[in-house]
């Protein structure tokens, strides 16, 4: 029932947010009570039939390997209850009746296969380790659990019999491919690398060379994925991006420019393409990359302003700027690289009008919660400042958002003061999202989900959203409106079906009360 509750909570939250001044309008909101059996079961699926204008919720109230009993609720476009009935079917028949139901035949209830992975070690030599992956189907939870067992080690050797030294890798558990960048021990070890391809048994299938004019080191790896044709909920690796930074060695091996970085793209057939670029700083900690659906990748992370080479700069505790790079994967070229320093950020600080405090990012520890690219190619990065004690325990602080224009220049830095200050909120941080909403296309909507508590009985966080509107015209932000309170009762977001887009600038939110007894529906129109 936990998924169901979280789901409906969002609805409530969103409804509350619809104040006219926020240009968000709650068109309809309804609360419904479900049966005890549905409450004790779980929400397996929520469907919307646009032609009929009906929402259908399927609760599993009992199940085993042979039969499943459902309690089905159907609501009209405005969330009025149309029908409530029970269905009981043989498992195999149910999979034919409903495409969403996943039938697992007896022979697929337990799936076992082997892959290889890279084992880290202090010496830095390349050591592969076989692993046995076991997936067991649970009819109770409606999904697979995964167990990984490490097996024997493999120590690959070069054609000359030398040890390899590990540099970077990526793997795909679906295909069993393992692609490794490594080198042997010699004076040009950081100029001349080998790209090695292993199969799931650890056998070397092929190799190719990856060479540079000067010494380099990989500092970031990001898989390139596409949907798995056999499993809509999974992805498969088709390659990877690796970012290499120049390092200092003997004079003849050292690039005179410590900012002469390169992006290397490797596919599963070991085709290698390189795209050199000049970074704004010598030390760039690349945190992640985001693909915009149009073939562009945005690489982002913090940086320090230091003229030394990457391998001569100690791991920084404070950073001076945020660096952003846009890469056109179709043309294989870097579109732009920008670095925004802390001083500039402070001049573009923006806070909600009624907020008393003015939080800001000052270069300390920062946890990225997400990123977003809008239709105009503007990039939005959001997360939270945090502090870590001597034991590594993290305490999350202020929420920060950075808004960049289509050329990578900073438009605004937003500082948000979280409402919740409880133990769970401090230790876990606030999940955040840029909502795919808006009729006019003039605004973005930032949803911050606050952690109100933890439900031990349902083993889930109790989250409620706060939503603010950001203007694309001037970068201004409204106050955050809290959602999910109806008649002084709270509703919490569902982790499985938090919201979905109807079109015409509208979103439908779902949620439930803490005990899961009452469902909440809300349809909200955004400008």
What integer pLDDT is reported at residue 21 of this predicted model? 46
pLDDT at res. 140: 65
Q: At residue 300, does pLDDT exceed 80?
A: yes
For CA atoms 471, 477, 483, 486, the dihedral sign is: negative
* Residue 516: band (very low, low, confident or very high) from pLDDT cuts 50, 70, 90: confident
**Secondary structure letter of residue 162 according to DSSP:** P
Cβ neighbours around 100 below 10 Å, total: 10
**How does DSSP classify residue 74?**
E
What does each C-alpha distance from 85 to 125, 223, 456, 497, 510 come to in angstroms? 62, 46, 30, 22, 21
| Domain residue limits, the chain | 2-526
The total of other beta-carbon atoms located within 10 Å of residue 387's CB is: 12
Q: State how far the Cα of 344 lies from the Cα of 300, in Å rounded to an integer.
A: 17
Q: What is d(CA 189, CA 199) in angstroms, rounded to the nearest whole number? A: 25
- Environment class of 341 (CB within 10 Å of its CB; exposed 0-12, middle 13-18, buried 19+): middle
Closest CA to 511 of 489, 491, 481: 491
Q: Does 113 have pLDDT greater than 90?
A: no
Q: Which residue has the higher pLDDT, 116 or 8?
A: 116
CA distances from 150 to 2, 121, 153, 199 (A): 33, 15, 9, 16
Distant-in-sequence, close-in-space partners of 444: CB < 8 Å, separation ≥ 6: 372, 374, 380, 434, 435, 438, 469, 470, 472
Q: Where are the beta strands (DSSP E) in 393-442?
A: 394-404, 410-416, 432-435
Res. 3: pLDDT tops 70: no
CA 87 – CA 72 distance, rounded (Å) = 8
pLDDT at position 105 over 80: no
CB 454 within 8 A of CB 461: yes
263-277 b/e (C-beta count within 10 Å ≥ 16 → b): bbbbebebebeebeb
User: Checking DSSP bridges between strand 349-350 and strand 410-416, what pairing results, if any?
Assistant: parallel
Interval 34-67: pLDDT, tens: 999 999 888 999 999 988 999 999 999 998 878 8
Rounded mean pLDDT of 175-197?
Answer: 94
For the residues 203-218, what does the mean pLDDT come to? 97
Q: What SS3 state is found at 389?
A: coil
Residue with tokens 């779980």: 42
Lowest mean pLDDT among 15-29, 330-344, 482-496: 15-29
**Comparison of pLDDT for 343 and 5, the residue scoring more:** 343
pLDDT tens-digit profile of 388-436?
A: 998 889 999 999 999 999 999 999 999 999 999 999 999 999 999 998 7
Q: Report the predicted TM-score, pTM, of the whole model to 2 decimal places.
A: 0.88
> DSSP class of residue 125?
B
Q: Give me the sheet containing 127-138, strands edge to edge.
A: 110-119, 127-138, 143-154
Q: Can you tell me whether residue 459 is helix, strand or coil?
A: coil
Q: What are phi and psi of 349, to 5 degrees?
A: -70, 135
Q: What percent of the chain has pLDDT over 90?
A: 63
Average pLDDT, the chain: 89
Let me know the angle formed at the C-alpha of 237 by 233 and 241, rounded to the nearest 5 degrees.
130
State how far the Cα of 388 lies from the Cα of 32, in Å rounded to an integer: 43
- Spell out the SS3 assignment of 259-321: CEEEEEEEECCCCEEEEEEECCCCEEEEEEEEECCCCEEEEEEEEECCCCCHHHCCCCCCCCE
pLDDT band at 22 (very low <50, low <70, confident <90, very high): low
Which two structure tokens, joined as six digits, stand for 307? 């003229």
Q: What is the CA radius of gyration of the chain?
A: 26
Give Cα separations from 342 to 266, 362, 417, 426 (angstroms).
34, 6, 19, 25
């Amino acid at each position: 029932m936990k998924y169901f509750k979280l789901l409906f909570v969002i609805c409530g939250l969103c409804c509350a947010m619809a104040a006219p001044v926020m240009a968000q309008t709650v068109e309809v909101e309804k609360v419904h009570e479900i049966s005890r059996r549905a409450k004790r079961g779980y929400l397996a699926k929520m469907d919307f039939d646009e032609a009929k204008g009906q929402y259908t919720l399927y609760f599993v109230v009992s199940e085993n390997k042979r039969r499943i009993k459902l309690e089905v609720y159907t609501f009209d476009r405005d969330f009025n209850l149309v029908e409530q009935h029970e269905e009981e079917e043989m498992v195999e028949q149910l999979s034919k009746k409903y495409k969403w139901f996943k039938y697992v035949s007896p022979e697929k209830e337990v799936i076992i296969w082997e892959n290889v992975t890279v084992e880290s070690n202090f010496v830095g030599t390349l050591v592969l380790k076989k692993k046995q992956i076991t997936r067991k189907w649970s009819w109770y939870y409606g999904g697979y659990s995964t167990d990984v067992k490490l097996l024997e080690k493999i120590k690959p050797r070069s054609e000359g019999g030398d040890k390899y030294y590990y540099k970077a890798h990526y793997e795909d558990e679906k295909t069993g491919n393992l692609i490794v960048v490594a080198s042997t021990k010699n004076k040009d070890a950081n100029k001349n690398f080998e790209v090695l391809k292993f199969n799931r048994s650890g056998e070397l299938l092929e190799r190719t060379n990856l060479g540079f004019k000067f010494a380099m080191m990989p500092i970031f790896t990001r898989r390139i994925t596409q949907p798995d044709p056999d499993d809509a909920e999974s992805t498969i690796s088709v390659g990877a991006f690796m970012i290499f930074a120049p390092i200092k060695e003997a004079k003849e091996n050292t690039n005179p420019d410590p900012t002469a970085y390169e992006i290397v793209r490797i596919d599963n057939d070991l085709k290698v393409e390189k795209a050199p670029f000049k970074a704004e700083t010598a030390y760039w900690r690349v945190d992640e990359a985001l693909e915009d659906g149009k073939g562009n990748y945005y690489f982002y992370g913090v940086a320090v302003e230091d003229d030394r080479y990457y391998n001569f700069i100690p791991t920084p505790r404070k950073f001076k700027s945020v660096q952003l790079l846009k890469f056109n994967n179709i043309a294989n070229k870097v579109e732009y690289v920008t670095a925004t320093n802390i001083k500039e950020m402070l001049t573009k600080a923006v806070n909600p009008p009624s907020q008393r405090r003015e939080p800001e990012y000052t270069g300390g520890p920062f946890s990225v919660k997400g990123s977003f690219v809008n239709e105009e190619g503007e990039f939005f990065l959001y997360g939270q400042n945090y502090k870590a004690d001597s034991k590594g325990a993290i305490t999350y602080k202020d929420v920060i958002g950075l808004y960049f224009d289509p050329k990578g220049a900073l438009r605004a830095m937003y500082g948000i003061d979280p409402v919740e200050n409880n133990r769970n909120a401090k230790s876990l941080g606030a999940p955040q999202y840029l909502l795919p909403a808006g009729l006019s296309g003039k605004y973005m909507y930032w949803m911050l989900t606050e952690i109100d508590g933890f439900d031990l009985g349902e083993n889930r966080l109790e989250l409620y959203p706060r939503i603010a509107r950001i203007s694309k015209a001037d970068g201004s932000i409204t106050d955050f409106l809290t959602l999910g309170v109806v008649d002084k009762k709270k509703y919490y977001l569902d982790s499985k079906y938090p919201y979905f887009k109807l079109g015409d600038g509208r979103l439908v939110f779902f949620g439930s009360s803490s005990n899961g007894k009452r469902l909440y529906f809300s349809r909200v129109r955004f400008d």
